[in-house]
Structure 1
Amino acid sequence: MKEIAVEFEKHNESDKVKELEDAVLELADLSEDSVHLSSAVQAIANRYQPKEEVNNFRKLLEDEVSKLKGQSTTSDPNSNPLVRQFKEAVWKVHHEGQPMPGEEQEDIVMTSTQSSILNMTCPLTGKPVTELEEPVRSVECKHIYEKRIIMQYIKSSNRCPISGCPKKLRADRVVQDALLLIEIEELRKMNKETEVEDFTLLNEDD
């Protein structure tokens, strides 16, 4: 959507850009909700004890989701990496080199997908995140791992395997959110573009 929005912005089709921005904001909200829901289901499953009376699972789930939302530190959708990257790409069309509104000149502007993907390789498999079969991300520290391997790891240790990371991991808080897949796909595209540029430069040198 970012690339499409950039094209619309180049042609000053602001209404269409706004529609895409609203869609990105909605996607960010849905992604956050899916993470909370997944964590809530896992948490309830871990605590569940069969009883004679029938449990109201809907109520349990709603309460758990509400609790997780209350603990969330990402309530502002504009701080979501996907939303930020979208807005920055659109802003740069007509304001290249200028800080976005609300940013100080000396602020470091995060413009690449790499800035929202904290680790480029899985610490347990050594594979680039773009090659992971089932990438998952810790809700706590945002580090990315291969799901099967990290779930095995958590059984024996709850500390994030990234060197220097103090966060502790829980199986129900290591999830595959929708944004992660989008960010990884963006990273793949960036890597391909870099490869093409490098190949072009090599040919020019020849």
Structure 2
Amino acid sequence: MALTSRTHGVTGRIRTATSNLHEDNQSLISDIGKAFSLMKEIAVDFETAKQFERVKELENAVVELVDTYEDCSHFSSAIESVGVIYQPGPELTDFDKLFKNEVAQLKANSSSVPQNHPLMRQFREGVWLDNAKSKHNELKVRHAGEPLPGEEQEDIIMTSNQSTILNVTCPLSGKPVIELEHPVRSIICKHVYDKGAITQYLRGNITRCPVAACPAKLQLDKVKHDPLLAAEIDDLRKMQNQGVMTDVMDVTEFEE
């Protein structure tokens, strides 16, 4: 009985410690997101001023930032995983080995190349597009009819402004995404919800994403606080304040 109590006590302390470390690291990832947004804004100013060498310098810096972001993400996920899988055994646990194994597994399962990372696409789109309206209330594209750099062979032409936020309102609470106090995002379908609303929704044994026509099956542990979400919501807020139309859906109504 005493041994069982001690075992549970150790497990609880390890989980608390890893949870605290995970939260600290999430804050760091969030700061990386803010730095990325600032660098993108500066790059847009340089592009407008035709200081293309400066834009390239910033793009190279963003590649390094993306690398750091990936490392921090793997570190954060490994910390969380260690807290979940840890079970005391007869021998002392080699936490260094356990942690390194988790990081190695995460990196092996990640196929992300910095140049193809979603953040890099956001950066290039931000530089390529002019978030100003013409007198006809249409977007002006600095490089109208031209593909994004590096995508010439893919025939991807930028003709409108895009947001990385897929829905402008939470389908459950009806609140605008830019007003959510605790926004979370599905790692499966990438839709954004109010944390309290989606938690209550999923506890009701409903697993389908509440966004109309979205076929994704959700799990509570797959709907998480996304460290970069705050920066993306801030970008969306700026677009809306500028009166720029974005390619996001109003999904307040959802199917039962």
What TM-score do the two structures reach when normalised by structure 2? 0.60
Q: How does 1:62-101 map to 2 (within 5 A)?
A: 62-73=100-111, 75-92=112-129, 95-101=143-149
Change (3 A) 1:176 1:110: farther
Name the counterpart of 1:189: 238
Whether the aligned pair in 1 keeps the contact of 2:145 and 2:158 (CA below 8 Å) is no
Change (3 A) 1:36 1:134: farther
Q: Aligned letter for 2:165?
A: I
User: Shift of the alpha carbon at 1:191?
Assistant: 0.9
Q: Aligned letter for 1:178?
A: P
Deviates more, 1:184-193 or 1:22-31: 22-31
Deviates more, 1:103-112 or 1:3-12: 103-112
Whole-angstrom CA distance in 2 between matches of 1:57 and 1:19: 40
Larger Rg: 2
Name the counterpart of 2:216: 166
1:30 to 68, 89, 106: 68
Whole-angstrom CA distance in 1 between matches of 2:232 and 2:43: 17
Change (3 A) 1:135 1:56: farther
Whole-angstrom CA distance in 1 between matches of 2:103 and 2:89: 22
Change (3 A) 1:81 1:44: same
Q: How does 1:123-162 map to 2 (within 5 A)?
A: 123-151=171-199, 157=205, 159-162=207-210
Whether the aligned pair in 2 keeps the contact of 1:34 and 1:177 (CA below 8 Å) is no
Deviates more, 1:155-164 or 1:140-149: 155-164
Change (3 A) 1:58 1:158: farther
Whether the aligned pair in 2 keeps the contact of 1:113 and 1:187 (CA below 8 Å) is no
Name the counterpart of 1:2: 40
What residue ranges of structure 1 are gaps of 5+ in the alignment?
Answer: 196-206
Change (3 A) 1:90 1:135: same
User: Shift of the alpha carbon at 1:186?
Assistant: 0.2
Whole-angstrom CA distance in 2 between matches of 1:78 and 1:158: 38
User: Shift of the alpha carbon at 1:157?
Assistant: 4.5
Q: Deviations over 1:129-175 (max 9, x none)?
A: 2112222323333222333444555556483533433244352x444
Task: Provide the alpha-carbon RMSD of the alignment.
Answer: 3.1
User: Shift of the alpha carbon at 1:64?
Assistant: 1.8
For residue 194 of structure 1, give the secondary structure of its aligned residue in structure 2: coil
User: Shift of the alpha carbon at 1:49?
Assistant: 1.9
Matched, 1:53 2:91: yes
Q: Aligned letter for 2:88?
A: P
For residue 243 of structure 2, give the secondary structure of its aligned residue in structure 1: helix
For residue 162 of structure 1, give the secondary structure of its aligned residue in structure 2: coil
What TM-score do the two structures reach when normalised by structure 1? 0.72
User: Shift of the alpha carbon at 1:83?
Assistant: 1.8
Matched, 1:42 2:88: no
How much identity, in percent, do the aligned residues show?
A: 46
What residue ranges of structure 2 are gaps of 5+ in the alignment?
Answer: 1-38, 131-141, 245-256
User: Shift of the alpha carbon at 1:187?
Assistant: 0.2
